[in-house]
């Protein structure tokens, strides 16, 4: 993986977009990419993309599951093994509701509230599948900053909605 200068949020978002492009296009989900970074060390800890792992997996979920496996812990115990100044870059705002019944990505991030300090998003979730995503508010209420990284919205939306029927 390329070395990204500390604080180059757009470069990290581009990396998340590269992850999203690996996701298979489907009419029933967004193609999303995620990158988890140790901000203090400027080190990428994990990456993920929609449907990377078996099941109806989301990008953030894949990122956390791979990291949990690497550390030999359950995903819900990741907070015990991670440094405390992490940044999550995700091309689309983390979901607050899963129609599949899986744990929403916002709840997964909230479990890591002591470690994840900032969530950088490329676009807010369009209201295609969930009418009102409350993810941003839930994260902010838990003391996690949510920052919009501007400049890649068009590309992110094109990748996210590939496979969707155009109205």
CA distance 125 to 135: 9
165 pLDDT tier (thresholds 50, 70, 90): confident
What b-and-e string marks burial along 73-82, b requiring 16 or more CB atoms within 10 Å of the CB?
eebeebeeeb
What pLDDT is stored for residue 59 in this prediction?
A: 97
How high is the mean pLDDT of the chain? 90
Q: How confident is the model at residue 116 (pLDDT cuts 50, 70, 90)?
A: very high
pLDDT digits (tens, 9 = 90+) for 3-59: 899 999 999 999 999 999 999 998 888 899 999 999 999 999 999 999 999 988 999
pLDDT > 80? residue 132: no
Residues 6+ apart with CB under 8 A from 74: 68
Q: Looking at domain 9-160, which CATH architecture does it have?
A: 3-Layer(aba) Sandwich (3.40)
CB atoms within 10 A of CB 26: 14
**Helix pair 153-160, 9-20: axis angle to 10 deg:** 20
pLDDT band at residue 67 using 50, 70 and 90 as cut-offs = very high
Which residues are known catalytic residues? 60
Of all residues in the chain, the percent with pLDDT exceeding 90 is 74
Q: What is the mean predicted confidence (pLDDT) over 131-141?
A: 80
- Return the structure tokens found at 43: 């080190």
Among 31-35, 112-116, 163-167, the range with the most confident prediction by mean pLDDT is 31-35
The mean per-residue pLDDT over the stretch 95-116 comes to 88
The predicted model gives 119-145 an average pLDDT of 80
Q: Say if CB 35 and CB 61 are below 8 A apart.
A: no
Global pTM value:
0.93
């Amino acid at each position: 993986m390329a070395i990204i200068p500390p604080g180059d949020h757009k470069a990290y978002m581009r990396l998340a977009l590269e992850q999203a492009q690996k996701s298979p296009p489907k009419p029933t989900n967004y193609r999303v990419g995620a990158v988890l970074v140790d901000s203090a060390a400027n080190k990428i800890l994990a990456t993920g993309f929609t449907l990377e792992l078996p099941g109806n997996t989301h990008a953030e979920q894949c990122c956390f599951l791979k990291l949990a496996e690497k550390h030999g812990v359950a995903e819900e115990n990741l907070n015990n093994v991670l440094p405390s100044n992490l940044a999550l870059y995700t091309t689309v705002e983390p979901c607050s509701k899963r129609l599949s019944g899986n744990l929403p990505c916002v709840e997964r991030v909230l479990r890591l509230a002591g470690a994840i300090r900032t969530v950088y998003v490329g676009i807010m979730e369009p209201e295609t599948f969930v009418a009102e995503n409350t993810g941003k508010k839930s994260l902010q209420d838990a003391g996690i900053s949510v920052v919009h990284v501007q400049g890649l919205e068009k590309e992110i939306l094109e990748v996210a909605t590939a496979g969707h029927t155009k109205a």
